[in-house]
């Protein structure tokens, strides 16, 4: 349900410290058999005519366990420093045998209140700490102290005492006296005092035996006393302390006029002044002495640039008054627990502002929160008692508005697509209003920009495992005139596994727990409001939605509503989910219905069932569009043939397909499977002949696409283009065949012909990265460089996966286009992949993870190449050398050759030329039977030996290894091995091999701070008593590892 909110900054309005927290400092119960029991607590308080408090307190407790010793071993006593005196009478331990041990009361430490250590508050409330000597389980601890303290409001007093607590079972004595001519209000719930009058003083005495209770602050568990006669007297006293604090001085007037210059209305002026005080005056409280209840003058607050709730109000009141708008302070308690029958100042903890006239309807403001919209009170400030302090007239106890000016709604819209591999790429927009808006604004304002992405990751969508957040845009938290919005690119690899047959749309929602059956108190729903999540996802062509488990759910109750509905719009899956609360609290008489409602909500499912349309694993999913049209008998026959082919019996499989063709000679599916089986059995020419004979009579584009792909594989590109051209003419509705044609035309240097084919396709498929990438290549081939750059960058916007970003960066770099953009895209790819590699472990990594590792040096190569093209040779070398160190890829060696040649380092360029040939499997064939190049063969052989030795690392120790052992190593930035995983038999030498591998270093040079670790794979071999690790390249590391 919606998020509730209290004012995020503590505003210590009074803190009179009339509540003596003796029970609070006594250790709480840790179990039914408590570690500590408090069996005596006495409070004797005497108030004088000037409001001064003279009090004496005693606490006695029994310690049962070692945990109790830890809890009770330090006595903690609160007091106001500089406001009176604190005298500790004794701290005494009584042993079970009757012996007593006194702790010197002079051995103490005074420390500020803990609240000053976690909030911008400076207070004169201190705690005296005394470490108890010789305390053991079974002992009794007693301590007593006395306090004399002046009243913050001379002539008045008030106090609150707790009668019982969780760890308290025993005698509770409270004795309070005051001059007999004072007639305070006294409230003590069901506890009845003894009342006596003597020597001009009235005494109330409560002497009772209490049982443990968790109702520490329940009104029936409190003794509360106040000498104020009514609320108007409370208001007059406070108003006298605040008098002249909101005066309009020249400085105040000048600032008000500066902030409201050229603004046409009082409403606009009030908004501008409120915004300034809210966002430009930071929260700092100096709660010392009368400063607890008396604000600083407005001009002082303006000069300081900081203040607490009182200070921020008086500055706002003064600025408003300077432009002719009157404002009134209102004292409230955000917990809403003001007892209207007990006039007292200490019940309030916060100040808000009321503009009752001049702006039409009354306007309520809280400048303390800093990010609350104009005329908006957060949930804890609505429908609570408030004491107004008008400049003239009688202060009155009122009630703040119950309704929020803006509905509390959190709306999340996710728009994107899911590809064939189950990868989600989407744009997310989150818009929040009302209480949730203030909550998020405050969180983002407090965290700072560098933490914003972390905050988004804590939101429902961001919590998804594997989710990547990029290009985050956040409404400035201080701009409260418009709703608070977040927008970002959202990517999840493996978002859906199509083979599982279900799709759970990105509609995460935190649903409340079902209340227990024995709950008998009202339940806080978190506030009135709604959470709405909407998604629109384009699905791949070969994915079919079957049905939804729970379509169009609508559950309505008096306290809330839950809705879920979905539909298909073409290839777009559209869904909406909403949970709303219409009550801030569920009444006891509706708890049973609420339990049923939450159970029903939790029992519904937002998932839908899906299936792939192509049935055979051998088929290219992008070329299958005939399965739906195949007859049941054809489907069965081809299924049998495919099963037979997978067992290697192609002759029998082809015979089965031929029987299908005898029955259905016009089945494209059968002709295509026959050609595939001929191709797979080695009869490529026969397969191409089969496809050529069928192509003119093909009933759909799928067979033509397959035929063209086989022609391309055979190097017959012109013929493939002709087949695709024929298919595009015959089947104009099939966008893929036109795409393949365009890509083929670009490959055979006929890019100008491809542009008119691709432009309308890219316009129709405006969210397809592949179409825009093909268009970019065609436009470049047609010499339209500007259009090509735009299409390349659009493709990168549509697919921000690391692999695609690197591909686009490479395409730009190799064409010499937009090199700054190429660098930017390559760095984004590296940032994403580096983070993924940093999360890998040797125990959990699979082949997919090692392919991610292998992609990182390729991305370093792209970035290095881009820097080379820009002329930054030093940066180019840093990334290229790092890529070469872990991959020994011949392409990267040639890039290093080019950089060294440009820098004039002939020795290095020659070395990398040898390295490139040494790692190029085709180099030997190029030099064969050419005696004049024998020197190149010799140089290549020498280089190969050098590279092999560089990746051969000696292992120490006597290792009992008779067969090679496969090893996976986690290496830190310094090359040190941090973790090891072994594969295959180790003949009892597992631990020894691990230790030997942990002792080595596998050198590599990270090119930047993002590269924190690397996974390397190698083989341990031993011969003639010597063992080595032969390291593999990152490209080879994933081979043979389970998926």
Per-residue pLDDT at 508: 80
Per-residue pLDDT at 617: 33
Separation between Cα atoms, residue 593 and residue 514, nearest integer Å: 11
Pairing of strands 409-418, 396-399: unpaired
Pairing of strands 222-226, 158-162: antiparallel
Name 1038's Cβ contacts closer than 8 Å, sequence gap at least 6: 847, 848, 850, 851, 853, 854
Nearest to 691 by CA among 649, 739, 724, 660: 724
Each residue's pLDDT tens digit, 1021-1034: 888 778 999 998 88
In the 3-class helix/strand/coil scheme, how is 132-162 assigned residue by residue? Answer: CCCCCCCCEEEEEEEEEECCCCCCCCEEEEE
Question: Would the pLDDT of 978 be above 90?
Answer: yes
Per-residue pLDDT at 411: 92
Each residue's pLDDT tens digit, 19-71: 333 433 444 444 346 789 898 999 999 999 999 999 999 999 999 999 999 99
When pLDDT is averaged across residues 530-542 and rounded to a whole number, the result is: 84
**What percentage of the chain has pLDDT greater than the value 90?**
40
Segment of 31-35, 92-96, 481-485, 919-923 carrying the highest mean pLDDT: 92-96
Helix, strand, or coil (residue 791): helix
Confidence of residue 82 (pLDDT cuts 50, 70, 90): confident
- Whole-number average pLDDT of the chain: 85
Separation between Cα atoms, residue 433 and residue 480, nearest integer Å: 10
What sign for the dihedral angle of Cα 908, 909, 912, 913?
Answer: negative
Distance of CA 902 to the CA centre of its chain: 46
Record the tokens describing residue 573, joined without a space: 């899956």
Per-residue pLDDT at 636: 80
Separation between Cα atoms, residue 1001 and residue 972, nearest integer Å: 9
Per-residue pLDDT at 214: 53
Question: Would the pLDDT of 908 be above 80?
Answer: yes
Confidence of residue 364 (pLDDT cuts 50, 70, 90): very high
- Say which DSSP state 449 is in: G
625 or 255, higher pLDDT: 255
Per-residue pLDDT at 1040: 61
When pLDDT is averaged across residues 521-545 and rounded to a whole number, the result is: 81
Helix, strand, or coil (residue 50): coil
Record the tokens describing residue 951, joined without a space: 């990746």
In the 3-class helix/strand/coil scheme, how is 947-992 assigned residue by residue? Answer: HHHHCEEEECCCCCCCCCEEEEEEEECCCEEEEEEEECCCCCCHHH
Confidence of residue 177 (pLDDT cuts 50, 70, 90): very high
Q: In order of start, what are the domains of the chain with their CATH numbers?
A: 22-227 (2.60.40.3140), 234-399 (3.10.620.30), 409-512+526-612 (no CATH), 889-950 (no CATH), 951-1031 (no CATH)
397: Cα within 13 Å, side-chain hemisphere: 18
Record the tokens describing residue 296, joined without a space: 């600083």
- Say which DSSP state 340 is in: T
Angle at which helix 701-713 crosses helix 717-730, to 10 degrees, equals 170
Per-residue pLDDT at 629: 55
Sole residue written with tokens 């690197």: 806
Element (H, E) at 705: helix 701-713
Helix, strand, or coil (residue 242): helix
Task: Supply φ then ψ for residue 417, to 5 degrees.
Answer: -150, 160
Separation between Cα atoms, residue 297 and residue 248, nearest integer Å: 10
Per-residue pLDDT at 753: 85
What sign for the dihedral angle of Cα 477, 479, 481, 483?
Answer: negative
Separation between Cα atoms, residue 647 and residue 449, nearest integer Å: 59
Name 94's Cβ contacts closer than 8 Å, sequence gap at least 6: 100, 139, 140, 141, 142
**C-beta of residue 470 within 8 angstroms of C-beta of residue 489:** yes
Torsion of CA 198, 201, 202, 208, to 10 degrees: -80
Per-residue pLDDT at 545: 67
Each residue's pLDDT tens digit, 981-1016: 987 655 445 788 888 999 999 989 999 999 989 999
Separation between Cα atoms, residue 382 and residue 400, nearest integer Å: 5
Confidence of residue 213 (pLDDT cuts 50, 70, 90): low
Nearest-Å Rg of the Cα atoms of the chain is 39
Separation between Cα atoms, residue 79 and residue 125, nearest integer Å: 6
Torsion-angle region of residue 1024: left (phi > 0), alpha (psi -120 to 50) or beta? left
983-1001 in b/e burial notation, b at 16+ Cβ within 10 A?
eeebeebeebbbebbeebe
**C-beta of residue 630 within 8 angstroms of C-beta of residue 638:** yes
Per-residue pLDDT at 985: 57
**C-beta of residue 328 within 8 angstroms of C-beta of residue 386:** no
What sign for the dihedral angle of Cα 874, 879, 880, 885?
Answer: positive
Question: Would the pLDDT of 561 be above 50?
Answer: yes
End-to-end Cα spacing for the chain: 41
Distance of CA 659 to the CA centre of its chain: 59
Per-residue pLDDT at 317: 96
Name 250's Cβ contacts closer than 8 Å, sequence gap at least 6: none
Strand ranges, E, within 48-108: 53-63, 74-80, 84-94, 100-102
144 or 555, higher pLDDT: 144
Confidence of residue 542 (pLDDT cuts 50, 70, 90): low
What sign for the dihedral angle of Cα 642, 671, 626, 638?
Answer: negative
- Say which DSSP state 599 is in: H
Question: Would the pLDDT of 626 be above 50?
Answer: no
Task: Supply φ then ψ for residue 48, to 5 degrees.
Answer: -100, 170
Nearest to 582 by CA among 644, 526, 521, 656: 526
**C-beta of residue 1020 within 8 angstroms of C-beta of residue 836:** no
**C-beta of residue 539 within 8 angstroms of C-beta of residue 418:** yes
Name 105's Cβ contacts closer than 8 Å, sequence gap at least 6: 88, 89, 90, 91, 130
Sole residue written with tokens 């108007």: 232
When pLDDT is averaged across residues 882-902 and rounded to a whole number, the result is: 90
**C-beta of residue 419 within 8 angstroms of C-beta of residue 540:** yes
Helix, strand, or coil (residue 534): strand
Question: Would the pLDDT of 17 be above 60?
Answer: no
Separation between Cα atoms, residue 338 and residue 271, nearest integer Å: 30
Q: Please give the full DSSP string across 257-324, using - where no structure is assigned.
A: HHHHTT--SHHHHHHHHHHHHHHHSEE-EEE-GGGGTSPPPHHHHHHHTEE-HHHHHHHHHHHHHHTT
Record the tokens describing residue 324, joined without a space: 């002719």
Segment of 4-13, 286-295, 342-351, 734-743 carrying the highest mean pLDDT: 342-351
């Amino acid at each position: 349900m919606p998020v509730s909110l209290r004012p995020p900054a503590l505003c210590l309005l009074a803190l009179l410290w009339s509540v003596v927290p003796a029970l609070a400092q006594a250790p709480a119960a840790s179990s039914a058999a408590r570690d500590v029991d408090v069996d005596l607590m006495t409070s004797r308080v005497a108030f004088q005519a000037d409001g001064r408090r003279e009090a004496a307190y005693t606490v006695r407790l029994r310690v049962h366990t070692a945990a109790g010793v830890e809890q009770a071993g330090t006595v903690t006593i609160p007091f106001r420093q500089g406001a009176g005196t604190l005298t500790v009478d004794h701290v005494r331990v009584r042993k079970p045998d009757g012996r007593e041990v006194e702790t010197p009361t002079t051995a103490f430490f005074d420390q500020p209140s803990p609240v000053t250590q976690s909030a911008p508050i400076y207070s004169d409330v201190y705690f005296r700490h005394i470490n108890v000597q010789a305390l053991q389980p079974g002992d009794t601890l007693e301590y007593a102290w006395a306090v004399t303290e002046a009243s913050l409001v001379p002539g008045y007093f008030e106090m609150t005492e707790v009668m019982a607590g969780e760890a308290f079972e025993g005698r509770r004595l409270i004795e309070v006296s005051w001059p007999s001519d004072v007639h305070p209000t006294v409230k003590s719930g069901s506890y009845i005092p003894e009342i006596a009058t003597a020597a001009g003083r009235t005494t109330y005495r409560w002497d009772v035996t209490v049982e443990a209770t968790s109702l520490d602050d329940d009104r029936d568990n409190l003794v509360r006393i106040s000498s104020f006669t009514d609320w108007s007297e409370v208001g007059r006293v406070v108003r006298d302390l605040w008098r002249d604090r909101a005066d309009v001085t020249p400085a105040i007037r000048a600032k008000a006029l500066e902030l409201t210059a050229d603004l046409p209305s009082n409403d606009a002026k009030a908004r501008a002044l409120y915004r300034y005080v809210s966002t430009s005056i930071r929260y700092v409280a100096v709660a010392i002495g009368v400063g607890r209840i008396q604000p600083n003058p407005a001009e002082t607050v303006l000069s300081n640039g900081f203040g607490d709730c009182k200070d921020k109000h008086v500055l706002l009141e003064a600025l408003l008054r300077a432009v002719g708008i009157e404002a009134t302070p209102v004292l409230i308690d955000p917990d809403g627990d003001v007892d209207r029958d007990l006039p007292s100042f200490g019940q309030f903890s916060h100040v808000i502002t009321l503009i009752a006239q001049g702006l039409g309807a009354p306007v309520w403001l809280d400048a303390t929160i800093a990010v609350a919209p104009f005329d908006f009170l957060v949930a804890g400030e609505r429908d609570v008692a408030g004491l107004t302090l008008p400049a003239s007239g009688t202060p009155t106890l009122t009630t703040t508005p119950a309704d929020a000016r803006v509905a509390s709604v959190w709306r999340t819209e996710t728009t994107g697509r899911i590809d064939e591999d189950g990868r989600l790429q989407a744009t997310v927009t989150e818009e929040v209003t009302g209480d949730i808006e203030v909550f998020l604004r405050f969180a983002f304002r407090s965290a700072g920009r560098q933490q914003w992405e972390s905050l988004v990751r804590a939101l429902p969508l961001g919590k998804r495992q594997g989710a990547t957040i990029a290009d985050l845009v956040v409404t400035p938290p201080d701009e409260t005139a418009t709703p608070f919005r977040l927008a970002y690119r959202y990517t999840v690899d493996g978002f859906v596994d199509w083979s599982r047959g279900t799709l759970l749309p990105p509609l995460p929602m935190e649903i409340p727990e079902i209340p227990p059956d024995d709950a008998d108190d009202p339940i806080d729903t978190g506030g009135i409001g709604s959470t709405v999540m909407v998604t629109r996802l384009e699905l791949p062509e070969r994915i079919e939605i079957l049905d939804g488990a729970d379509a169009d759910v609508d559950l309505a109750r008096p306290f809330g509503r839950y809705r879920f509905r979905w539909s298909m719009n073409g290839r777009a899956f559209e869904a909406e989910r909403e949970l709303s609360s219409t009550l801030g609290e569920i009444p006891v008489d509706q708890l049973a219905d609420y339990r049923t409602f939450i159970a029903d909500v939790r029992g519904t499912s937002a998932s839908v069932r899906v299936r792939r349309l192509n049935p055979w694993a051998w088929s290219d999913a992008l070329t299958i569009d005939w399965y739906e049209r195949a007859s049941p008998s054809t489907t069965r026959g081809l299924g049998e043939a495919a099963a037979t082919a997978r067992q290697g019996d192609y002759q029998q499989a082809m015979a089965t397909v031929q029987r299908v063709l005898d029955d259905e000679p016009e089945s494209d599916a059968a002709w295509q499977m026959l050609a595939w089986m001929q191709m797979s059995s080695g009869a490529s020419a026969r397969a191409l002949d089969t496809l050529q004979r069928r192509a003119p009579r093909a009933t759909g584009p799928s067979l033509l696409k397959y035929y063209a792909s086989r022609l391309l594989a055979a190097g017959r590109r012109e013929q493939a283009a002709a087949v695709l051209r024929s298919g595009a003419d015959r089947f104009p509705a099939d966008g893929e065949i036109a795409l393949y044609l365009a890509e083929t035309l670009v490959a055979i240097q006929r890019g100008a012909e491809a542009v008119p084919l691709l432009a309308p396709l890219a316009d129709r498929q405006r969210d397809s990265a592949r179409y825009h990438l093909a268009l970019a290549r065609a436009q470049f081939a047609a010499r339209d460089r500007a259009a090509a750059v735009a299409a390349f960058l659009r493709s990168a916007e549509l697919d921000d996966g690391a692999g695609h970003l690197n591909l686009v960066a490479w395409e730009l770099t190799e064409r010499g286009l937009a090199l700054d953009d190429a660098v930017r895209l390559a760095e984004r790819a590296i940032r994403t992949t580096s983070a993924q590699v940093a999360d890998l472990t040797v125990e959990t990594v699979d082949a997919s993870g090692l392919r991610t590792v292998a992609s990182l040096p390729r991305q370093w190569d792209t970035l290095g190449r881009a820097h080379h093209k820009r002329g930054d040779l030093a940066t180019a070398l840093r990334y290229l050398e790092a890529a070469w160190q872990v991959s020994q890829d011949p392409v990267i060696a040639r890039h290093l050759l080019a950089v060294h040649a440009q820098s004039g380092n002939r020795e290095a360029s020659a070395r990398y030329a040898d390295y490139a040939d040494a790692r190029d499997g085709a180099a030997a064939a190029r030099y064969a039977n050419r005696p004049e190049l024998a020197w190149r063969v010799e140089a290549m052989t020498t280089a190969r030996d050098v590279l092999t030795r560089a990746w051969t690392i000696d292992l120490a120790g006597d290792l009992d290894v008779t067969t090679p052992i496969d090893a996976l190593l986690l290496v830190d930035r310094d090359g040190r091995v941090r973790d090891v995983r072994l594969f295959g038999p180790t003949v009892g030498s597992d631990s020894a091999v691990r230790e030997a591998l942990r002792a080595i270093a596998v050198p590599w040079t990270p090119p930047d701070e993002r590269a924190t670790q690397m996974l390397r794979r190698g083989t341990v071999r031993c011969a003639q008593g010597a063992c080595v690790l032969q390291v593999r390249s990152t490209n080879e590391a994933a081979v043979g590892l389970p998926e």
